[in-house]
């Protein structure tokens, strides 16, 4: 008898592609920088043995984190503990303010640390200051965006506040906002997306180190990066990760739109399954 099981896809696959629709769209790619790559701004020399040990520890930590979440009914997002493996550069605001975020297919929101910070982890790069951006706007409590999300609340100024709780007791809380988000493509041309929903965190406690500014959610929820880009990328994204012990100067890629299509000899595909929670990507194994 065949037994069906669902596999949740985390950020450890070598190649992953998602089609949300069949719309045609010109594509672009951005770099995914491994934390141990020579191209990482936080690069620290390490032996191959140390790299393997670090990777194993991160994987075990992530599995434990997700397993704990699966045992409860409390809505939670998954985050890669102990620093996360892959960073992506992006900018928010007008003028653009450059940030490094952990790319996470198990999260549904783009959140970053913002000034002034009431309770923040020790971030080694500068924090975003909303008051210096002309395109920043708080989302009101009575908006559809605020009311459609779980674990939101209102401030005295009627601004929507998000609150994300993680299985390892990490959390992020702050203003849910609209802001211009800019990605630097591999062609050298920047691609901007106005009125992107972001979380401007002012109370953040996390288990990863301070080399990133927060999380870039690539999950299936309504305010993840990939869902928000939607028709602008034809509903398609993919990523390809270079081998851990390969050329340390090589860069992994996160592809959007037509650039996300994987084709040619040796390429195979399998359908993804729609299942709650929408955050994750599932497939059926027989």
Supply the CATH number for residue 88's domain.
Answer: 2.40.70.10
Contact 54, 81 (CB under 8 A): no
Alpha carbon distances (Å) from 228 to 60, 90, 130, 132, 209? 31, 15, 21, 24, 27
Mean local confidence (pLDDT), 107-118: 94
What pTM, to 2 d.p., does this model score?
Answer: 0.75
Per the structure, the complete domain to which residue 76 belongs is given by 5-285
List the beta bridge partners of residue 173.
163, 203
Does the structure show a pLDDT above 60 at 23? no
pLDDT of 16 reads 52
**Helix (H) or strand (E) segment spanning residue 184:** strand 171-184
In this structure, of 1-15, 41-55, 92-106, 138-152, the range with the lowest mean pLDDT score is 1-15
Tell me what pLDDT residue 143 has.
Answer: 96
Region of poorest pLDDT, from 40-49, 223-232, 277-286: 40-49
pLDDT of residue 54: 52
Instruction: Flag whether pLDDT at 4 surpasses 60.
Output: no
Identify the three-state secondary structure at position 63. helix
Mean pLDDT over each residue of the chain, to the nearest integer: 76
pLDDT band for position 170 (50/70/90)? confident
* Higher-pLDDT residue of 16, 152: 152
Q: Tell me what percent of the residues of the chain surpass a pLDDT of 90.
A: 35
Between 61-65, 115-119, 230-234, 251-255, the lowest mean confidence (pLDDT) is in: 61-65
Counting the structural domains of the chain, the total is: 1
Bigger pLDDT: 225 vs 105 = 225
Provide, rounded to the nearest whole percent, the portion of the chain with pLDDT above 70: 70
pLDDT for position 211: 74
C-alpha triplet 138, 32, 185: angle, nearest 5°: 70
The partner residues of 150 in beta bridges, in order of sequence, read none
């Amino acid at each position: 008898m065949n037994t069906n099981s669902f596999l949740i896809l985390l950020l450890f696959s070598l190649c992953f592609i998602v089609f949300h629709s069949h719309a045609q769209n010109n594509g672009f790619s951005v770099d995914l920088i491994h934390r141990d790559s020579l191209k990482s701004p936080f690069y620290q020399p390490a032996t191959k043995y140390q790299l393997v040990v670090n990777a194993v520890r991160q994987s075990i930590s992530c599995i434990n984190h997700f397993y704990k979440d699966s045992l409860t009914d409390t809505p939670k997002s998954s985050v890669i503990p102990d620093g996360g493996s892959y960073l992506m550069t992006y900018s928010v605001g007008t003028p653009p303010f450059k940030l490094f975020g952990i790319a996470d297919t198990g999260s549904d929101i783009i959140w970053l640390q913002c000034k002034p910070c009431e309770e923040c982890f020790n971030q080694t790069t500068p924090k975003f200051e909303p008051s210096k951006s002309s395109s920043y706007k708080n989302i009101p409590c009575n908006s559809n965006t605020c009311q459609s999300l779980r674990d939101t609340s209102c401030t005295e100024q009627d601004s929507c506040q998000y609150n994300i709780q993680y299985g390892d007791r990490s959390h992020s809380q702050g203003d849910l906002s609209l802001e211009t988000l800019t990605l630097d493509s591999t062609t050298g041309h920047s691609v901007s997306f106005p009125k992107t929903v972001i979380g401007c965190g002012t109370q953040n406690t996390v288990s990863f180190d301070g080399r990133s500014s927060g999380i870039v959610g690539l999950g299936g929820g309504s305010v993840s990066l990939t869902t928000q880009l939607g028709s602008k990328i034809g509903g398609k994204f993919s990523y390809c990760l270079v081998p851990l012990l390969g050329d340390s100067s090589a860069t992994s890629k996160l592809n959007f739109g037509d650039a996300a299509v994987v084709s040619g000899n040796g390429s195979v595909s399998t359908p993804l399954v729609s299942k709650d929670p929408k955050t994750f990507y599932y497939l059926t194994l027989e």
